[in-house]
Chains A and B, each alone.
Chain A
Amino acid sequence: MSKIKILLADDHQIVLDGLKSLLSDIDDFEVIGAVSNGKDAVDFIATKEKPDIAVLDIDMPVMNGINATREIKKNFNGVRVLTLSMHNEKGVIQTLMDAGADGYILKNSSREELEKGIRAICRGETFFSTDVTMSLLNQSTEITANNELPEEVKDLTEREVEILKLVAEGYSNKEIGERLFISHRTVDTHRTNLMKKMDVHNVAGLIRIALKSGLVD
């Protein structure tokens, strides 16, 4: 059985040495190179030897892991990429996936998880740490305006609509009062009525309706 050839890149020498010794202990793994930045990783593949998989840190000087992933994926067919980082940030992970990374493992993962990841990726699968998968699931919601006014809003008085709009624009009761030449207590009463009429129990709910109704430009 041929060994899985691995290229490592991390700018922290101790981490690099640690990874190297960790992976070299596994019988069918062979670390063919260990470099300290993304550019050296790309150069290594171009001039020395093509690995089966490149294990790249994300934060590295000269060329980071994201750009190195792009370069490797563009120029070297068949080289798989596993990125390794301490960031559990959805945006960063999304960027990496877009760059073509085959997997992503957090630095707080165990040796077993790393080994599992490398094997999965070399079988042609993708591999993401469990925590990472969770963070990708949690999406924010975009509110968009409908062209048609919802029923609840049709029943509001002109003044109430005016106030709803200002609330969604982030004005406080005091500021709204000053703008409309009424007391802030009156504004507060309008707010309470608005919530009752629209059957919402918090400010966020009020604002959601205002946005959906297209009251905010």
Chain B
Amino acid sequence: MMPKALIENGVLSAIEDMLENTLVGTGISYNIEHYQLKERLPETIELTLFRICQELINNTIKHAKATEIIVQLIKSIKNIVLIVEDNGQGFDQNKSSDGIGLLNLTSRLNTINGEVSYESSSNSGTSATIRIPLV
């Protein structure tokens, strides 16, 4: 189901509402920044970005022991980029394997030629970068 805010107001506003409603009471503060995102994006891209962001935020809440989340949504001529970064405990990229949430996320991305990459170390939090080409 598409959230109402996503249909009516677009992905930025929907992500904001989701952060607000999900993070209330968790003690995690958030910050959302955007760049050149004046127009609406194609529906599939908006929905994918929203779902992925939701999954990443859930992972942060469940595993990261973070106190801050930064979300950046950037539109360039060629790409849409979504960064979700926390200041939590991070994870060891060599030891961990993808859970169902992340696999699901990757398969969503595959259908629109998107890529995901993670940067993480045990003391500087986790940052996930999603890039979706605009054709």
* B60 within 8 Å of A (CB atoms): no
Interface string of B6-40 (1 = CB under 8 A from A): 00111011101100110000000001111101000
Structural contact, A138 and B34, CB atoms closer than 8 A: no
* A140 within 8 Å of B (CB atoms): yes
Structural contact, B76 and A217, CB atoms closer than 8 A: yes
Structural contact, A135 and B20, CB atoms closer than 8 A: yes
On chain B, the residues within 8 Å of A141 by CB distance are 31-34
- Give the number of residues in B that approach A within 8 Å (Cβ atoms): 40
Q: How large is the interface on A (under 10, 10 to 19, 20 to 34, 35 or more residues)?
A: 20 to 34
Structural contact, A140 and B12, CB atoms closer than 8 A: yes
Structural contact, A92 and B4, CB atoms closer than 8 A: yes
* A208 within 8 Å of B (CB atoms): yes
Residue from the list B78, B87, B129 in contact with A202, Cβ < 8 A: B87
Structural contact, B72 and A204, CB atoms closer than 8 A: yes
* B79 within 8 Å of A (CB atoms): yes
Q: Which residues of A contact B (CB under 8 A)?
A: 59, 87-92, 94-95, 135, 138, 140-144, 168-175, 201-204, 207-208, 211, 216-217
Q: Which residues of B contact A (CB under 8 A)?
A: 3-5, 8-10, 12-14, 16-17, 20-21, 31-35, 37, 70, 72, 74, 76-79, 81-83, 85, 87, 115, 117, 119, 124-125, 127, 129-131
